Amino acid sequence: MKKIEINNLPAGSLILIKRYNIFKRLYAKLFKKQLKYNEVWLDPVGNNSFEFKDTTLTKHDVTAFVPKKKYSKEEIMKLFEVLLSGMISAKDDVEAILLINLVRPKTFEGSTLEELLDNNRYYNKKELK
In the chain, what are the domain boundaries? 4-126
pLDDT in tens, 14-66: 888 888 888 998 999 999 998 888 888 887 777 667 777 766 777 778 888 88
**Residue scoring higher pLDDT (88 or 78):** 78
- pLDDT (0 to 100) of residue 89: 60
Q: Is the pLDDT of residue 68 over 70?
A: yes
DSSP H or E segment with residue 21: none
**Residue scoring higher pLDDT (5 or 72):** 72
Q: How wide is the angle at C-alpha 69 spanned by C-alphas 84 and 63, nearest 5°?
A: 70
Q: How wide is the angle at C-alpha 39 spanned by C-alphas 33 and 40, nearest 5°?
A: 125
Point out which residues pair with 6 in neighbouring strands.
50
Residue 96 Ramachandran class (φ > 0 left, ψ -120 to 50 alpha, else beta): alpha
CA 87 to chain centre: 18
| Burial class of residue 49, CB neighbours in 10 A (0-12, 13-18, 19+) | exposed
Q: Is the pLDDT of residue 124 over 90?
A: no
- pLDDT (0 to 100) of residue 32: 92
Q: How wide is the angle at C-alpha 95 spanned by C-alphas 50 and 21, nearest 5°?
A: 55
- pLDDT (0 to 100) of residue 30: 95
Alpha helices by DSSP H, 1-128: 22-30, 73-85, 93-103, 113-118
**Confidence tier at 1 by pLDDT (50, 70, 90):** very low
pLDDT in tens, 97-123: 778 888 888 887 766 667 677 777 888
